[in-house]
A and B are shown apart, each in its own frame.
Chain A
Amino acid sequence: MIGDKILLEARGVTVRYGKTVACDGVSLDLRAGEVLGIVGESGSGKTSLLTSLSGRLRPASGEVLFDVRGQGLADVYALSEPDRRRVRREEWGFVHQNPRDGLRLRISAGGNIVEPLLMCGERRYEPMRGTAIQWLERVELDPARIDQRPSQFSGGMQQRVQIARALAHRPRLVFMDEPTGGLDVSVQARLLDMLRGLVRELDLAVMVVTHDLAVARLLADRLMVMKNGRVVETGLTDQVLDDPQDAYTQLLVSAAM
């Protein structure tokens, strides 16, 4: 269910690397329970935008507002560092394209899943263990493998562990960067199916960056198309994909079909 409440709002976010402009005055809003897809080709500024929106890269100009628990809509970069870290830790989840970026490889799958719980203050072994088992089942992994390290899992399974880790502490907003990149088509399809189920079931707000229009069509309620750091088109997913208005979007859609 998409709520009325705005969870995340960007106003004129510009990200620069030296003279290179990665993101040029991007504005958007995301409501509770909504899945927003950001699509565009490589180098269009999708990931820079996501990094900036998720509090990891201060924009050169513009504001990122988030509905901080107990505080209301607040500028993420105006929060004190410990507060910003707390928001990232407790209210957000991250799914990286490469599971190796999102997982601790020397820690067991179970340990990876309970870490966000520990970060939220849980200090009891048994409840954490129970939650980890539950999550392994939820992402369709064998709970008997709870104490194996990520290196003992296949790429697709590592991605499932990473998704469990990103969701275990019940965040309100999840950032995903190419969650199915680097996986083969059949694994990708099963993972997407599972992800879609979880997003609906947990009523998550998700911001998902992808260059794969199929992923966007399956997951996203709304779509934003980026090119050269600018938003060229935005609208409901089906609307954008079935009846693209912008020349670039038309090109993207026809190239994908």
Chain B
Amino acid sequence: MTAQTATRPMLDGYNYAYLDEQTKRMIRRTMLKAIAIPGYQVPFGSREMPIPYGWGTGGMQLTASLIGDSDVFKCIDQGADDTTNAVSIRAFFAKVAGVTTTEDTEAATIIQSRHRKPEHPLREGQIMVYQVPQPDPLRRFEARETETRAMHAYSEYALPYLGLYEGYARLGRASSAAGHPVLTNERYVMTPSPIPSFDNPKLHNSPELQLFGAGREKRIYAVPPYTSVVSLHLEDKPFETQRWGAGCELCGSTDSYLDEVIIDDKGGRMFVCSDTHYCAIRRAERERAGVAPAEGQIP
């Protein structure tokens, strides 16, 4: 929870923030193009990173190209600040860029994330970096890149709706619990992958800059501040987000995204906020206000 300042110089033999300056420049140019065309996937020369594909190589390259001395870096995985991947990526940037890291959503200038957008609303000047496994919402249906490019170019967007049809036909609801496709700036259909559809509304008209990086697929796309982001839905099936019967069992929040956590080997389980920082703040507030913790609650 407390901000930690790492000592400035970094690893011998490595450039600041790991990537060389020309690569960072190329990635920044790609980001500018992506910002200029909201939701459009811009190809870029993705580099090998010292972690495997799927662990956030795209997001890390964006962060490495953005980060500077004055930045405060937060990294979350599944909403949590303290999972292996989040801790490792934070440690990586503390090491190679000597940057200050934090778990505090409000204090951070760059937030790199996999699976979630923080519950606390972001503000102007902050940058949200998403790690994306599959940037193209049409790829699931159409394997040919030439064809999906033409579809994007001509706004031929029947296929994401076919996905919605399939969901209602097979499950009675939209099947995309995560990565539910959105229409960005009334032009490009993009995948906010891999955040849950619960987080989709938080993308709309949001004051911070949102960047999406797919390392393996070599694509960058962006949602500039205050850009319309609308979740796709069939006309007679409105878009709905996931709901839980009760609130978080630790902090009592009824409007945050909950994870189901198994707590013993006898089938015991509890629902808690997936955003650990948000949950911790709320618990601290409740403690100050003198609200007694619920029975069986982990302190």
Collect the chain A residues with CB atoms within 8 Å of residue B140's CB: 106
Does B165 have its Cβ within 8 Å of any Cβ on chain A?
yes
Q: Which residue numbers of A lie inside 8 Å of B, CB to CB?
A: 81-82, 85, 89, 104, 106-108, 110-111, 114-115, 118-119, 123-126, 128-129, 146-147
Asked whether A114 lies within 8 Å of B162 as measured between CB atoms, the reply is yes
Among the stretches B90-98, B106-114, B166-174, the one at the interface with A is B166-174
The docked-state distance in angstroms from the alpha carbon of A104 to that of B142 is 9
| Residue interface mask B119-161, A partner, CB < 8 A = 1 | 0000000000000000000001100000000100010101101
Collect the chain B residues with CB atoms within 8 Å of residue A123's CB: 161, 234-235
Query: Nearest chain-A residue to B234 (Cβ)?
Result: A125
State how many residues of chain B have any CB contact under 8 Å with chain A: 19
Asked whether B170 lies within 8 Å of A108 as measured between CB atoms, the reply is yes
The docked-state distance in angstroms from the alpha carbon of A118 to that of B165 is 10
Asked whether A108 lies within 8 Å of B166 as measured between CB atoms, the reply is yes
User: Which of A106, A107, A125, A146 counts the most B-chain CB atoms under 10 A from its CB?
Assistant: A125
Q: Which residue numbers of B lie inside 8 Å of A, CB to CB?
A: 140-141, 150, 154, 156, 158-159, 161-162, 164-166, 168-170, 234-237
Q: Least Cβ distance of A134 to chain B in Å?
A: 15
Supply 17 A–B pairs (Cβ within 8 Å), ascending by A: A85-B154, A104-B141, A106-B140, A107-B166, A108-B166, A108-B169, A111-B166, A111-B169, A114-B165, A115-B159, A118-B161, A118-B162, A119-B156, A123-B161, A124-B235, A125-B234, A125-B237
The docked-state distance in angstroms from the alpha carbon of A104 to that of B141 is 8
Collect the chain A residues with CB atoms within 8 Å of residue B166's CB: 107-108, 111
Q: Least Cβ distance of A104 to chain B in Å?
A: 7
How many pairs of A and B residues are in contact by the CB < 8 Å rule? 54
Main DSSP-derived SS at the A contact region = helix
Query: Can you list the 7 inter-chain pairs with the closest CB atoms, starting with the nearest?
Result: A118-B158, A82-B154, A119-B158, A125-B234, A124-B235, A123-B235, A124-B236
Collect the chain A residues with CB atoms within 8 Å of residue B235's CB: 123-125
Asked whether B170 lies within 8 Å of A147 as measured between CB atoms, the reply is yes
A125 touching B236 in the complex, CB below 8 Å, given contacts A81-B150, A118-B161: yes
Asked whether B236 lies within 8 Å of A111 as measured between CB atoms, the reply is no
A125 touching B158 in the complex, CB below 8 Å, given contacts A85-B150, A104-B141: no
Asked whether A115 lies within 8 Å of B158 as measured between CB atoms, the reply is yes
With A110-B169, A114-B162, A126-B236 known, 17 other A-B pairs at CB within 8 A are A82-B154, A85-B150, A104-B162, A107-B162, A108-B166, A108-B170, A114-B165, A115-B159, A118-B162, A119-B158, A123-B235, A124-B234, A124-B235, A125-B168, A125-B234, A129-B169, A147-B170
